[in-house]
Chain A
Amino acid sequence: MSERKLVIPGEIIVSEKEFLPGEWTEKRNDEIVAVRFGVAEEQDRLVRVIPISGTYQPRKGNVVIGQAVNILSSGWFIDIDTPENAFLPVSEFPRYINRGEFADVLDIGEMVVAKIINIDKRGIDLTIRAHGLGKVEDGLIIKINSNKVPRIIGKEGSMINLIKEETGCNITVGQNGVIWISGKDTEAELFAKKAIMYITENFFMEGLTEEMKRWFEEEKGK
Chain B
Amino acid sequence: MLETSKLNEGKIKRYLSEGRRFDGRDLNEFREIKIETGVSKHAEGSVRVKLGKTEVLVGVKMDVATPFPDTPNQGNLMTNAELTPLSSADFESGPPKTPAIELGRIIDRGIRESKFIDFEKLCIKEGEKVWSVFIDIYSINDDGNLLDAAGIAALIALKNTMVPKYDEEKEKAIYGEHDRKLPLAENMIPISLTVHKIGDNLLIDPLKEEEDVSEMRLTTSGFKDTIFAMQKGESGTIESERMPELLELAEKAREKVILRIKEYL
Seen from chain A, the residues whose Cβ lies within 8 Å of a Cβ on chain B are 67, 79, 81, 107, 109-111, 136, 138-141, 143, 178, 186, 190
Tell me the nearest residue of chain B to A55, going by C-beta. B1
Note all chain B residues with C-beta closer than 8 A to A109.
3, 5-6
Kindly provide the distance from the CB of A122 to the nearest chain B CB, expressed in whole angstroms.
21
Note all chain A residues with C-beta closer than 8 A to B3.
67, 109
Q: Is the CB of A138 within 8 A of B2?
A: no
Selected contact of A143 from candidates B2, B11, B15, CB within 8 Å? B2
Tell me the nearest residue of chain A to B14, going by C-beta. A186
Note all chain B residues with C-beta closer than 8 A to A190.
22
B40 within 8 Å of A (CB atoms): no
CA distance A190 to B22 in the complex (A): 7
Selected contact of B11 from candidates A81, A140, A178, CB within 8 Å? A140
Tell me the nearest residue of chain B to A139, going by C-beta. B7
Q: Is the CB of B15 within 8 A of A81?
A: no
What's the A-B contact tally at a CB cutoff of 8 Å? 33
B 1-45 binary contact with A (CB < 8 Å = 1; else 0):
111011110010011000000100000000000000000000000
Kindly provide the distance from the CB of B118 to the nearest chain A CB, expressed in whole angstroms.
46
Q: A79-B2, A81-B1 are in contact. Are A110 and B15 (CB under 8 A)?
A: no
CA distance A190 to B207 in the complex (A): 14
- Range class of the B interface residue count: 10 to 19
Q: Can you list 11 residue pairs at the A/B interface with Cβ under 8 Å?
A: A79-B1, A81-B1, A109-B6, A110-B5, A110-B6, A111-B6, A136-B5, A138-B7, A140-B11, A141-B5, A143-B2
Q: Which residues of B in the span 75-107 have a Cβ within 8 Å of any Cβ on A?
A: none
CA distance A110 to B14 in the complex (A): 17
11 new A-B pairs (CB below 8 Å) besides A67-B3, A136-B5?
A: A67-B2, A67-B5, A79-B2, A110-B5, A111-B5, A111-B6, A139-B7, A140-B11, A141-B5, A178-B2, A190-B22
Q: Is the CB of B1 within 8 A of A141?
A: no
Kindly provide the distance from the CB of A67 to the nearest chain B CB, expressed in whole angstroms.
6
CA distance A107 to B2 in the complex (A): 15
Q: A109-B6, A139-B7 are in contact. Are A186 and B1 (CB under 8 A)?
A: no
CA distance A111 to B6 in the complex (A): 8
Kindly provide the distance from the CB of B14 to the nearest chain A CB, expressed in whole angstroms.
8
What 6 pairs between A and B have smallest CB-CB spacing?
A: A109-B6, A141-B5, A111-B5, A81-B1, A141-B8, A110-B6
Tell me the nearest residue of chain B to A66, going by C-beta. B2
Tell me the nearest residue of chain B to A142, going by C-beta. B8
Tell me the nearest residue of chain B to A182, going by C-beta. B7
CA distance A104 to B48 in the complex (A): 48
Note all chain B residues with C-beta closer than 8 A to A81.
1-2
CA distance A67 to B14 in the complex (A): 21
Note all chain A residues with C-beta closer than 8 A to B22.
190
Selected contact of B7 from candidates A79, A140, A143, CB within 8 Å? A140
Kindly provide the distance from the CB of A26 to the nearest chain B CB, expressed in whole angstroms.
26
CA distance A110 to B2 in the complex (A): 11
Kindly provide the distance from the CB of B101 to the nearest chain A CB, expressed in whole angstroms.
26
Q: Is the CB of B8 within 8 A of A140?
A: yes
